[in-house]
Amino acid sequence: MSDARLLLEAKRHCRAGALAILAEEEYSKAFVLCICADMRRWDSVIYRSLTDHGSKQAVSQMMLRYWVWLQKNLKAVSEMNRSSFIPAQPSVLPPQSEFDAMVEDGKKDHIKRRQRDKLKQRMLYVHIDQNANAIHKPDNLPEGGARQCFDDTHSFKIITEYALTKLLPGFAVIAI
């Protein structure tokens, strides 16, 4: 993440975005391993998912979507409680149908269609069409796209560190 920040500040947007997505994948591995350690689970399905970019990206993107939902829900309940004598307790889980949609969208977008992995590849490689024409060059990514990759990864880093703090007493956050 610190290298991605340096590249972003140096206006090397494509490399910054790609490196941020690579960092996101590493945080995703840590997040999954944290959950597996807590559940005392290790098997071939987990192992395969940790070696597949789409699976790691699906985990991080689904958790980011959940994170946004959670923040909106906590804010709405807090607003509601401002004028209530008996405070409502916020839910930390979305309705089942919304949760299922988050999971299905993550599978469809990042495991099946590999959207995030394709974005990372577009930021790293020149793509050639069937007529040998360069159809994409990495320098085409605007700063906003790279910044969004960086911001998403930073948010997921916070989620991962929260999970690690719960599992490992004394865990210190990673400065970037």
- pLDDT per residue as tens digits for the range 134-169: 888 886 678 899 999 999 999 999 999 998 888 888
Distances (CA, A) of 86 to 1, 81, 82: 43, 8, 10
How do the domains of the chain map onto residue ranges? Answer: 2-76+92-167
Closest CA to 61 of 2, 95, 34, 21: 21
Q: How confident is the model at residue 115 (pLDDT cuts 50, 70, 90)?
A: very high
Q: Is the pTM of this model over 0.85?
A: yes
